[in-house]
């Protein structure tokens, strides 16, 4: 059917005045902000605190993306099975529960593991650093549960015909939140003395920075 300009304006107004739409936008904005903090901060942590080379940090930093991909596909399959338990029959009353289940399965372990890391007192041993790196990789990768079966696909549930428009809206707003993440990260983790690890090593014939520098970055 031919859509008039008035119809388009009415549709836009309904989308922009929809509570569920803005709930999705808010969730996506906070999720993107957290994801940017982890994605930007993890390589820096590996390099500056754990003392890994750029090659080692790059390889380890790719692991969360691999975990996310696998969990996204697995979560999408599992969520559809839970929503369509028998012969493709759709049970709409299950959808909200399934979305909450997968969103909670992503963010609650992430919050718990981050709490364990931040509450731990002894951060200096090499063994503990390895554990921290492993937990950070898992924390970042767990986002795949939300992407495949949780809140990130909720726009397909509330408005499948207009899901593309809502996706564009939520991603636009979420990216604005995401741009703030590296700015905040840089403000919270300034280099001691204004020198990064690479700059310090360049100025000191390849010598690693002192333990005081590392402890300051770790803190």
pLDDT at 91: 53
Higher pLDDT, 215 or 164: 164
b/e sequence 199-208, b meaning 16+ C-beta within 10 Å: ebeeeeeeee
CB count within 10 Å of CB 68 equals: 20
Contact between residue 75 and residue 148 where contact means Cβ atoms under 8 Å apart = yes
Distances 134 to 64, 114, 148 between C-alpha atoms, Å? 10, 12, 22
Global pTM reads 0.76
Residue pair 185/217 in contact (Cβ under 8 Å)? The answer is no
Place of tokens 């015909």: 161
C-alpha span between 197 and 57 (Å, rounded) = 13
Banded pLDDT at 90 (limits 50, 70, 90)? low
Q: For 8-52, what is each residue's pLDDT tens digit?
A: 888 888 999 999 999 999 988 888 888 888 888 888 888 888 777
What's the DSSP call for residue 137? H
The number of angstroms, rounded, from the C-alpha of 92 to the middle of its chain's C-alpha atoms is 28
1's CB contacts (< 8 A; 6+ apart) are none
Number of residues assigned to the chain: 219
Helix (H) or strand (E) holding 177: helix 163-188
Question: Taking phi first (over 0 means left), then psi (-120 to 50 degrees means alpha), and beta for anything else, what does residue 192 get?
Answer: beta
């Amino acid at each position: 059917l031919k859509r008039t300009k008035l119809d388009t304006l009415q549709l836009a107004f309904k989308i922009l005045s929809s509570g569920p739409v803005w709930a999705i936008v808010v969730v996506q904005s906070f999720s993107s902000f957290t994801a940017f903090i982890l994605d930007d901060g993890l390589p820096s942590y590996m390099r500056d605190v754990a003392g890994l080379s750029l090659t080692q940090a790059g390889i380890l930093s790719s692991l969360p993306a691999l975990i996310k991909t696998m969990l996204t596909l697995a979560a999408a399959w599992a969520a559809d099975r839970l929503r369509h338990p028998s012969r493709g029959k759709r049970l709409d009353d299950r959808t909200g529960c399934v979305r909450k289940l997968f969103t909670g399965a992503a963010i609650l372990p992430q919050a718990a593991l981050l709490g364990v890391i931040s509450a731990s007192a002894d951060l200096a041993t090499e063994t503990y650093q390895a554990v921290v790196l492993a937990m950070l990789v898992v924390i970042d990768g767990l986002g795949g549960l939300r992407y495949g079966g949780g809140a990130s696909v909720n726009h397909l549930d509330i408005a499948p015909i207009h899901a593309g428009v809502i996706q564009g809206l939520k991603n636009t707003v979420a990216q604005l939140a995401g741009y703030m993440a590296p700015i905040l990260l840089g403000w919270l983790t300034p280099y001691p003395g204004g020198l990064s690890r690479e700059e310090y090593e360049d100025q000191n014939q390849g010598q690693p920075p002192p333990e005081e520098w590392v402890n300051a970055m770790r803190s």
